[in-house]
Amino acid sequence: MSYIDHLTLVFQTLYLVSESQEKLTRRVIKLAVASYLASPISDEVHSKIKDYVLSLNILELADRNSLDKIVEVMQLYTIDAAEMSELRKKIPHVGLLPDELW
């Protein structure tokens, strides 16, 4: 659950900072991951999932409710188009910077 939610939110952040470029650079990918990990959303998502998982018994872990919980957390933190446009205005352009090593 955690992997799916965090990865999806990192992709959302990557889309936000990439400025819809066709080619992604390592710098932009690193920026997206670092930005997400530094955001309070990362900790909130982790806490919500941890609290949910700790409340379940072994049989409940494999049931349909887990998928529903993944979707619920994703919907809670999804950025809509209007919000995306506002956030993009605040992000400096990173495409002109030289790429870097991993």
Residue 75: band (very low, low, confident or very high) from pLDDT cuts 50, 70, 90: confident
State mean pLDDT over 53-58.
77
Residue 61: band (very low, low, confident or very high) from pLDDT cuts 50, 70, 90: low
pTM (predicted TM-score): 0.67
% pLDDT > 90, the chain: 1
Q: Which domain holds residue 76?
A: 2-90
Residue 44 has pLDDT above 80, yes or no: yes
Tell me if 54 is assigned to some domain.
yes
Q: What radius of gyration, in Å, describes the C-alpha atoms of the chain?
A: 16
Per the CB < 8 A criterion, the answer to whether 94 and 28 are in contact is yes
Dist CA 63 CA 54 (whole Å): 15
Dist CA 26 CA 70 (whole Å): 28
**Secondary structure string (H, E, C) spanning 13-58:** HHHHHHCCCCCCCHHHHHHHHHHHHHCHHHHHHHHHHHHHHHCCCH
Find tokens 């992709």 and name the residue.
Answer: 11
Number of domains in the chain: 1
Tell me if 98 is assigned to some domain.
no
